[in-house]
A and B are shown apart, each in its own frame.
Chain A
C-alpha cells in the first residue's frame, strides 16, 4: 500500500507514488548540483525534466495508474546519473572530474597528505583514509587540543610514524565557510550547505543560548541585581557554542572559487550515504585490522633491530619537515591569529553593544516600574504626555530598531531601508526632546526644600520610661527614596500602592537629650517644591500622627501622600527628647523606616540647634531599655569594659602559674637536698633521726599544694 500524489511536472499532471517522487526529487537535485556551475543550467535541467515528464506520460498512456519506483529508476538509468555523465560527455570543468571519478578509487592505508597540509598533513591524511572532510578531522583535533592536550600528542606521534604521500581528494563534499551568506564568519551558512539544511537552523543553534541567556537575565534582573555579562555569554552552554564557533571560524576554509563553492554543496549527505559508508567501513575493517596487526608486529621487529638508525633518520627527517612546515605555515598561522584577533574585536564590540542594550533595557524596566506612581511625579496632562513620549520614543524605539536590524540581518532582507531608518531616527529624536523636557520639568518641581517643625504635646509617662512602638504588620511597605524603586525586597513592591496613594517611609527617628527633666517629642516635616511656598504646603500636608497611651507612643508605619499631594521627596524627622537618667525603649520595627540623611547646611536647609551625636543613633540597640547618659543613650546591660578585664585577668593567671611552677621547682630541689642530708646523717648516726624528719614533711606538703594550685590555674 503506497500513497500516491499528483504532481505538476513540466506542465503535465503526473500521479506518482510518494516513494517514487522522493527518488525523482533526489535525482533532480543531484542534477541541479551537478550542473550548478554550467552555463544555461536552468535550460538543461528543464530539458531533462521535460523528457522525463514525457516518458512518464508514455508510461501512463500504456495503462499504468501511476508512476512507481521501478519506473522512475528505469528512466533514471536511461537518462544517466550525474556520475555516468562524466565518462563520456567530457565535462568542461575540471572539478567535475575530480568530483566523481576518484570516488571509486580503492581505499589505501593511512598516509599523511602532502598536498593538503597545515602542519604535517596528519589531519588530511586521516580525513582521506576515513573519507570525510579534512575540516572535520581538524576540528576534532583542535577540540582535543583545547580539551586535554591529548590531540597534540597524538598528532606528533602520527606525524612521526605515518609516512607521507601525495594523496588525491576522495570526497565529494567539503565543509566551507560560506562568504555569500554570512553574518559573522559564514560558519553557520557553511554548515547549512554541508548538511543541506536551511541556514536559520545552525544560526539559531548558535544564537539561541545567547538569546536565552539575555532573556533569562532580563527576567532575573527585574527582581534582582544585575548579573555580570560574562556569565551570560560564557554561561555553560552558550559559552561552549561561542567557543566552537570561533574554532570553526579558524579551521574551516572559506569557499572562494566557484569549484570550492560547488564542493561546499557537493552531493547530498543523507542517511543512506552515511549508512553505506559505515557498512563499507565495517566490511573492510576486519581485514584491515589483521593486516595492520601483522604489519605492525613486523614493523616492531624491524624496529627493534634498527632502532637507533630509524630514530636518527626519522628524527632528522622530522626536524627537517617541522622546519619546513613552520616556515610554510607561518603564513597560515598569521591568518589564524588574524582571525582570532578579528573574533576578539568583534566580541568586544558585541559586548559594548550588548552592554548598551542592557542599560537601555534596564532604564525601560525602571521606568515601567515607575509607571504606576507617575501620577505622583507629574503635575499636568502635558507632563504625562512627555513621559509617554520619553518611554516610547527615547527608550523603546532603539530596542525596536535593534530587533528589526537583527531580524533583517539574519533574514537577509534587502529592501529600501532609508524610509525605515528616517522614521526610527525622527521618532527617537522626538523621544529625546520629550525626555529632556520631562527631566527639566520634574527637576523644576524639586527645586527648593522647606521644612516645618511641629512639637507634639505628650503626657509625661507615669514610669520613667518611654516605649516607642512602630506599627508593623507582616505586609511589606513600599519603600521609596530619592532615587526611585526599592529593589531589595522579595515582595512585590506594588502591592500596597494604589492609584491614589503612596505610602512613604522616609522617616527618621532620633533620640536626643532633653534640656529639662521632661520628655519632649518634636517632628520636622520636609518637602521639596517648585518654590518655598509649594514646598511648605507639601510639607504641611504630611500627616504623621502618633498615639500616646501613657508610656507607649505608637508611630504609624509611614505617611501617605496622595495623587494631589504629589511626590516631592517628603521626609519626616521624629525627634524624641529624653531627660538624663530616664529610659527609653524602641521597637525593632523602627528599622523598617527608610532613613535619610539630614543636610546641616544652615544657610539653605533647616537650622539644627543641638549636638550631632544623634548621628550615632544608627547603632541603637532595639527592644531593650536604654538610659540617657551625659550625652547619648547607654545600654546598661552591656558593659563594654568587660572584655578588656577578662583578657587581663587571664594574663594574670598565666603569670601566676609560671611563678608557681618555679617555686615548685625550687621546693623539689630543696626536698632532694634534705633527703640526701638525711640519708647521710642516717648513715653516720643511725640514731636520733626523728628531729630532722619534720621539716622534710613540711616541704613535701608544700609541693603538693603547689601542684594543686597549678592544676587549678590550668582550668
Chain B
C-alpha cells in the first residue's frame, strides 16, 4: 500500500468540495482560490486547479465571465450556477455525515463533536 496514493485519494474528493465552497461565496479569480486554500493550509497547484475548474464548468456547475483588467487582457472570473449550488448542498450534506462518522470512529462519540461545534 502506497501512503502517498492513499493520501491523494483522501484529498481528492475534498478538493472539489473546497473549491466549490470558495466560489459559492462570490465571483472569484482562480488564483484567489489558490490563495484562500493556501491560507487554510491546503496545498493546491494552479495547474491542478484549472483543469478542475474547466471540468466543473463543462458539467454546468460553474460559469465564468470576462472581467477587464487594468493591465493586460481580460481575466476569467468564476461564479456558481444554480446547478452548482444544488451540487454543493449535496456535497455539504455528505461531508457533514462523513465528518461525523469519521470522528465517531476515530475519536469516540459523535456528541462530543457536536458539542465542540
B-binding residues in A (CB < 8 A):
10-12, 31, 35, 38-40, 43-44, 47-48, 50-51, 53-54, 57, 61, 78-82, 84-90, 92, 101
Select from chain A the residue with minimum beta-carbon distance to B10. Answer: A88
C-alpha gap A79/B4 in the complex (Å): 20
In the bound complex, do residue B51 and residue A89 qualify as a contact, i.e. CB atoms below 8 Å apart? yes
With A84-B47, A85-B47 in contact, do A47 and B73 touch (Cβ < 8 Å)? Answer: no
With A39-B58, A89-B51 in contact, do A78 and B8 touch (Cβ < 8 Å)? Answer: no
In the bound complex, do residue A88 and residue B46 qualify as a contact, i.e. CB atoms below 8 Å apart? no
In the bound complex, do residue A38 and residue B51 qualify as a contact, i.e. CB atoms below 8 Å apart? yes
* Bitwise interface map of B from 37 to 58 toward A, beta carbon under 8 Å scored 1, else 0: 0000001111110111111001
Nearest chain B CB to A80 CB, angstrom units: 3
| B contact patch SS | helix
| A contact patch SS | helix
In the bound complex, do residue B8 and residue A88 qualify as a contact, i.e. CB atoms below 8 Å apart? yes
Partner of B71, one of A10, A31, A48, A57: A57
Nearest chain A CB to B18 CB, angstrom units: 11
C-alpha gap A143/B75 in the complex (Å): 57
C-alpha gap A54/B71 in the complex (Å): 9
C-alpha gap A43/B8 in the complex (Å): 25
Partner of B47, one of A31, A61, A90, A92: A31
C-alpha gap A48/B54 in the complex (Å): 11
Nearest chain B CB to A168 CB, angstrom units: 12
C-alpha gap A11/B72 in the complex (Å): 7
Nearest chain A CB to B44 CB, angstrom units: 7
In the bound complex, do residue B44 and residue A88 qualify as a contact, i.e. CB atoms below 8 Å apart? yes
C-alpha gap A44/B52 in the complex (Å): 9
Neighbouring B residues of A50 by C-beta, 8 Å: 73, 75-76
C-alpha gap A79/B9 in the complex (Å): 20
Nearest chain A CB to B56 CB, angstrom units: 11
With A40-B58, A47-B50, A89-B52 in contact, do A12 and B45 touch (Cβ < 8 Å)? Answer: no
B11 close to A (CB within 8 Å): yes
In the bound complex, do residue B48 and residue A47 qualify as a contact, i.e. CB atoms below 8 Å apart? no
Beyond contacts A44-B51, A50-B75, A101-B5: 17 other A-B pairs, Cβ-Cβ < 8 A, are A10-B73, A11-B73, A12-B73, A31-B47, A39-B58, A40-B55, A40-B58, A47-B54, A47-B76, A54-B72, A78-B45, A78-B46, A80-B47, A80-B48, A84-B47, A85-B47, A90-B8
Nearest chain B CB to A8 CB, angstrom units: 11
With A11-B72, A11-B73, A79-B45 in contact, do A87 and B51 touch (Cβ < 8 Å)? Answer: no
> What are 29 A-to-B residue pairs whose CB atoms are below 8 Å?
A10-B73, A12-B72, A31-B47, A44-B54, A47-B30, A48-B46, A48-B47, A50-B73, A50-B75, A51-B30, A51-B31, A51-B50, A54-B31, A54-B72, A78-B45, A79-B46, A80-B45, A81-B47, A82-B47, A85-B47, A87-B4, A87-B8, A88-B8, A88-B15, A88-B43, A89-B48, A89-B51, A90-B12, A101-B2
C-alpha gap A31/B76 in the complex (Å): 20
C-alpha gap A10/B75 in the complex (Å): 11
C-alpha gap A88/B10 in the complex (Å): 9
Neighbouring A residues of B73 by C-beta, 8 Å: 10-12, 50
C-alpha gap A262/B27 in the complex (Å): 36
Neighbouring B residues of A87 by C-beta, 8 Å: 4, 7-8
Nearest chain B CB to A585 CB, angstrom units: 101
With A40-B58, A47-B53, A47-B54 in contact, do A85 and B48 touch (Cβ < 8 Å)? Answer: yes
* Bitwise interface map of B from 45 to 86 toward A, beta carbon under 8 Å scored 1, else 0: 111101111110010000000000001110110000000000
Number of interface residues of B (CB under 8 A): 29
C-alpha gap A369/B6 in the complex (Å): 80
Nearest chain B CB to A528 CB, angstrom units: 84
C-alpha gap A82/B47 in the complex (Å): 8
C-alpha gap A440/B31 in the complex (Å): 85
Neighbouring A residues of B7 by C-beta, 8 Å: 87
In the bound complex, do residue B51 and residue A35 qualify as a contact, i.e. CB atoms below 8 Å apart? yes
Neighbouring B residues of A47 by C-beta, 8 Å: 30, 50, 53-54, 76
Nearest chain A CB to B66 CB, angstrom units: 11
Partner of B8, one of A39, A61, A79, A86: A86
In the bound complex, do residue A53 and residue B72 qualify as a contact, i.e. CB atoms below 8 Å apart? yes
Neighbouring A residues of B48 by C-beta, 8 Å: 80, 84-85, 88-89
The 3 closest A-B pairs by CB, nearest first: A80-B45, A80-B47, A90-B12
In the bound complex, do residue A85 and residue B45 qualify as a contact, i.e. CB atoms below 8 Å apart? yes
Nearest chain B CB to A600 CB, angstrom units: 94
In the bound complex, do residue A88 and residue B30 qualify as a contact, i.e. CB atoms below 8 Å apart? no
Neighbouring A residues of B45 by C-beta, 8 Å: 78-80, 84-85, 88
Nearest chain B CB to A574 CB, angstrom units: 96
C-alpha gap A53/B73 in the complex (Å): 10
C-alpha gap A35/B50 in the complex (Å): 11
Nearest chain A CB to B62 CB, angstrom units: 12
C-alpha gap A394/B8 in the complex (Å): 71
Neighbouring B residues of A84 by C-beta, 8 Å: 45, 47-48
C-alpha gap A50/B31 in the complex (Å): 11
C-alpha gap A54/B46 in the complex (Å): 13
Nearest chain A CB to B80 CB, angstrom units: 18
Select from chain B the residue with minimum beta-carbon distance to A81. Answer: B47
C-alpha gap A35/B4 in the complex (Å): 22
Neighbouring B residues of A79 by C-beta, 8 Å: 45-47
With A79-B45, A90-B12, A101-B5 in contact, do A48 and B50 touch (Cβ < 8 Å)? Answer: yes
Nearest chain B CB to A165 CB, angstrom units: 19
In the bound complex, do residue B11 and residue A88 qualify as a contact, i.e. CB atoms below 8 Å apart? yes
Select from chain B the residue with minimum beta-carbon distance to A105. Answer: B2
C-alpha gap A35/B47 in the complex (Å): 11
C-alpha gap A79/B49 in the complex (Å): 9
With A47-B50, A48-B46 in contact, do A88 and B12 touch (Cβ < 8 Å)? Answer: yes
C-alpha gap A50/B2 in the complex (Å): 35
Nearest chain A CB to B108 CB, angstrom units: 30
C-alpha gap A532/B54 in the complex (Å): 93
C-alpha gap A44/B5 in the complex (Å): 25
C-alpha gap A43/B57 in the complex (Å): 11
Neighbouring A residues of B71 by C-beta, 8 Å: 57, 61
